[in-house]
Amino acid sequence: MSESSNIPLRTSRDALRGRRVLVIGAGGLGCPALLALADSGAELVIADDDTVELSNLHRQILFDEESVGRDKLDAVRDALVRLGIPETSIELVRSRFLPDNARELARSVDLVLEGADNFATKFLAADACRLERRPIVHGAAIRFVATVWCVAPEGRPCYRCLFEDVPDGDAQPNCNDAGVLGPVVGFAGALMADRALRVLTGVDPPYGRIATYDGRRDVLREVPVPPRGACPLCGPSPRISEIDETRYTAPSCAA
């Protein structure tokens, strides 16, 4: 039996008690991730300002038709409480993850799960976690493909090693146009939770390796991400040393 098989399972509730996890976005990625983390014992901090929409129910698996029109946060809290999670272990942040609250939110937790639906938020989360020395798990899904990877607290390689900057609006894939398969998003969210448990327990955290799942071919690959020599965030001469809101201005749907 390998060492990596020693991840606490049912015992993780005690192991993670008092640890705080911020989940950015209670959508298609956040819902399955929260479901998988619900029994971990960690405190769940959830940031979102959206409402539940009927068209998203197929991938936002904590909601049902009675949730439509409600604030996602209220619907998520009720769903988690129904699962037996103490309400005191759930903290709701009724806001998007924004430049003016990003660093404070990152600083207040032990780990960030980024399941945002736009690239601007993804880069913002990457930058805030690097600046606050917090680990982050990034998740994304579009059409048949899901990607998940995590960045260490010291943050190298980081999100900007892979994607240097926020893409132009026209260059961004949009899941409203391209579509996204519900089970693929669910798989990505569950994988984010797996990475979160590995980071929080310190058992084989897969830093610097990106997992890509192709739902058409049923193939999960994991490959290393090489550090970018001149990375503006984690390179030897980083240009990003603060959160400048003008840097995050190209919102578009990615999950």
Residues tagged active-site: 175
Closer residue to Zn ion (CB): 92 or 231: 231
- The least CB distance from residue 158 to Zn ion, in Å, is 3
Query: What sign results for the dihedral spanned by CA atoms 7, 9, 11, 17?
Result: positive
Closer residue to Zn ion (CB): 75 or 231: 231
Written as six digits, the tokens of 48 are: 């979102």
Task: Kindly tell me which residue out of 128, 158, 184, 199 binds Zn ion, with binding defined by CB under 5 A.
Answer: 158
- The stretch near Zn ion (CB under 5 A) out of 31-39, 60-68, 181-189, 234-242 is 234-242
Task: Kindly tell me which residue out of 96, 160, 195, 198 binds Zn ion, with binding defined by CB under 5 A.
Answer: 160
Distance CA 90, CA 78 (A): 10
Angular region, 221: left φ>0, alpha ψ -120 to 50, beta rest:
beta
Binding pattern to Zn ion, positions 99-138, x when CB under 5 A?
----------------------------------------
- Which residues on adjacent β-strands are paired with residue 142? 145
233, 160 contact by CB (below 8 A):
yes
- The stretch near Zn ion (CB under 5 A) out of 14-22, 48-56, 111-119, 161-169 is 161-169
- The least CB distance from residue 131 to Zn ion, in Å, is 13
Q: 71-104 in b/e burial notation, b at 16+ Cβ within 10 A?
A: bbbebbbbbbeeeebeeebbbbbeebbbbebbbe
Closer residue to Zn ion (CB): 207 or 213: 207
Q: Is residue 234 close enough to count as binding Zn ion by CB under 5 A?
A: yes
Written as six digits, the tokens of 191 are: 């994988």
**Per residue, what are the HEC states of 24-43?**
ECCCCCHHHHHHHHCCCCCE
- The stretch near Zn ion (CB under 5 A) out of 61-69, 100-108, 110-118, 158-166 is 158-166
Binding site for Zn ion (CB under 5 A): 158, 160-161, 231, 233-234
